[in-house]
């Protein structure tokens, strides 16, 4: 009874609140913390974090530079700074990853508001789904993926500044914003290939932003004017990657190009099948994962009760916030659906060209990262077809978000168990075999870890 009374009071208090813009970033922070921050003191090192931490500690910045020089040298420069700043403290890296994940969601919210200023539900829903989309579940590998989202945030920040410049009323302000946006766009393009082709979405966002404000004849010129500097940067970096950087295909080769040369028809048919299968995995199959119930091996009875109560409160709070942003939207706007679909297509190109298998779960769900922006926009746009009356739209969005947060939370518990197992193994080694000397190689056919390695011969 006390719980029901408390929930009723929360609902009544939420009903009295008026929506303010600051509530969206605050709500996104609550969602991100619920999904990724609850266990931050209890998570450790996983996968590539072991060699990167060892290299940073033993070989220093020069060692990191050599480690990244054959694939992502500019990304390595970022690591050189952050590893010196945060050191080898796992919980600091968890907060590092959480910050960039949350900032990315805030930037998506800001971008959508610049393009469609009267669509507050669209902005908040797209940002929230971007933050917790269930196709990607490796956020607990925070050192590694914090840097992924740092780079993605550079693209999103450049896009937001670009759109803000487009909407600026003073020429000097617009020039200043463009000057700030261009280096951020370049950093994304230079750092890694995952988000490289998301740059092709920029003209679509620019055109959508001017679509409702200018006559049709003026729209291409206005959008093109603000896209041209970024097109030049994109072309320059693409030229550098293709003809100057000597290691572009060192790790991953463009197998699609070879397949097209050998048998064009078969290669195209295979590409179409792969594209459809991967997009289905991101849009549909990923949500099937959210139907899991907590594993009894990871959750005690009290922990599971707290889990369900927490998800209920989160659904209530996010539903109330989304309900405040919902209203009758009048004329249908298809541009968000078009950009969302385009985002899904360009997001997968780097992996379809190199033949990397996109999948769900560790480790291949990292290839779904470029899909998050398009997927969030698409689902937010589809939800707008549901009537806003009686809170139906907000309720469905809140339930989906709570389900996604539940999946991410369950995954974090699995990572905590893996970290505890790692620590137990090393303690056992030091206790049972104290005479092991530094530098001794310990060989095993199997290790009781899930998030330690994929197909690599590696050791912590």
What residues have CB less than 8 Å from 33, skipping those under 6 apart? 98, 102
Q: What is the tens place of the pLDDT at every residue in 405-421?
A: 999 999 999 999 999 98
Beta strand spans in 5-125 (E): none
**pLDDT, tens digit (0-9, with 9 covering 90-100), for 204-234:** 999 999 987 888 888 999 999 999 999 999 9
State how far the Cα of 106 lies from the Cα of 451, in Å rounded to an integer. 29
* Cβ atoms of residues 152 and 164 within 8 Å: no
Q: Record the pTM.
A: 0.91
| Other Cβ atoms closer than 10 A to 321 | 25
Q: Look-up: residue for tokens 């992502």?
A: 72
pLDDT of 438 > 90? The answer is: no
pLDDT band with cut points at 50, 70 and 90 for residue 160 = very high
Rounded mean pLDDT of 236-251? Answer: 80
Q: How does the average pLDDT of the chain come out, rounded?
A: 89
Q: Provide the pLDDT for residue 246.
A: 73
**DSSP 8-class letter at 17:** P
pLDDT at 431: 86
Angstrom distance (rounded) from CA 365 to CA 282? 9
pLDDT at 274: 94
pLDDT at site 455:
54
Q: Please list, residue by residue across 370-394, b when 16 or more beta carbons sit within 10 angstroms of its beta carbon and e when fewer do.
A: bbbbbbbbbbbbebbeeebeeeebb
Contacts of 233-238 with CB under 8 Å at 24 or more apart are 233/182, 233/185, 233/186, 233/189, 234/185, 234/189, 234/199, 237/186, 237/189, 237/190, 238/189
* Residue 3 confidence (pLDDT) above 70: no
Weakest-pLDDT range from 80-89, 165-174, 358-367, 422-431:
422-431
What residues contact residue 396 under an 8 Å CB cut-off, 6+ apart?
383, 386
Instruction: Name the percent of the chain in helix, strand, coil, to the closest 5.
Output: 75, 0, 25
298 touches 417 (CB < 8 A)? yes
In tens, the pLDDT along 346-383 reads: 999 999 999 899 999 898 999 999 999 999 999 999 99
What does the pLDDT read at residue 34?
96
CA distance 389 to 187: 44
C-alpha pair distances (Å), 253 with each of 258, 266, 357, 424 = 9, 19, 14, 39
pLDDT digits (tens, 9 = 90+) for 310-336: 999 999 999 989 988 876 565 678 999
Q: What is the pLDDT of residue 300?
A: 87
In the predicted structure, residue 1 carries a pLDDT above the cut 90: no
């Amino acid at each position: 009874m006390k719980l029901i009374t408390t929930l009723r009071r929360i609902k009544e208090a939420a009903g009295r609140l008026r929506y303010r813009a600051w509530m969206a970033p605050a709500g996104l922070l609550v969602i991100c913390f619920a999904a990724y921050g609850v266990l931050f003191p209890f998570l450790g090192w996983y996968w590539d974090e072991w060699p990167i931490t060892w290299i940073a500690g033993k070989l220093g910045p020069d060692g990191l530079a050599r480690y990244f020089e054959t694939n992502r040298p500019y990304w390595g420069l970022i690591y050189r700074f952050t590893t010196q700043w945060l050191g080898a403290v796992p919980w600091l890296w968890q907060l590092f990853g959480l910050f960039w994940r949350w900032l990315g969601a805030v930037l998506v919210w800001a971008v959508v508001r610049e393009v469609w200023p009267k669509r507050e539900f669209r902005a908040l829903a797209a940002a929230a789904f971007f933050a917790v989309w269930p196709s990607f579940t490796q956020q607990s590998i925070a050192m590694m993926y914090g840097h992924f989202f740092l780079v993605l945030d550079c693209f999103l920040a450049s896009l937001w500044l670009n759109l803000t410049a487009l909407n600026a009323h003073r020429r000097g302000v617009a020039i200043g914003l463009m000057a700030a946006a261009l280096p951020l766009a370049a950093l994304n393009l230079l750092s890694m290939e995952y988000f490289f082709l998301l740059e092709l979405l920029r003209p679509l966002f620019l055109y959508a932003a001017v679509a409702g404000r200018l006559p049709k004849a003026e729209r291409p010129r206005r959008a093109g004017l603000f896209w041209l500097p970024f097109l030049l940067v994109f072309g320059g970096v693409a030229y550098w990657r293709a003809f100057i950087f000597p290691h572009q295909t060192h790790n991953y080769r463009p197998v699609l190009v070879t397949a097209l040369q050998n048998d064009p028809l078969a290669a195209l048919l295979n590409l179409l099948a792969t594209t459809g299968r991967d997009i289905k995995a991101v849009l549909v199959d990923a949500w099937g994962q959210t139907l899991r119930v907590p594993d009894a091996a990871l959750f005690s009875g009290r922990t599971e009760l707290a889990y369900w109560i927490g998800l209920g409160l989160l659904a209530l709070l996010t539903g109330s916030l989304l309900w405040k942003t919902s209203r009758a939207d009048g004329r249908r706007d298809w541009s968000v659906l078009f950009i969302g679909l385009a985002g899904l297509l360009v997001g997968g190109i780097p992996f379809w060209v190199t033949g990397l298998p996109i999948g769900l779960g560790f480790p291949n769900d990292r290839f779904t990262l470029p899909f998050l922006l398009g997927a969030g926009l698409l689902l937010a746009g589809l939800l707008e077809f549901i009537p806003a009356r009686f809170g139906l739209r907000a309720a469905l969005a809140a339930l989906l978000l709570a389900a996604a947060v539940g999946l991410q939370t369950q995954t974090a518990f699995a990572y905590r168990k893996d970290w505890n197992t790692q620590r137990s193994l090393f303690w056992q080694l030091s206790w049972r075999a104290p005479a092991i000397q530094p530098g001794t190689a310990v060989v095993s056919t199997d290790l009781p870890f899930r998030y330690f390695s994929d197909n690599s011969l590696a050791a912590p």
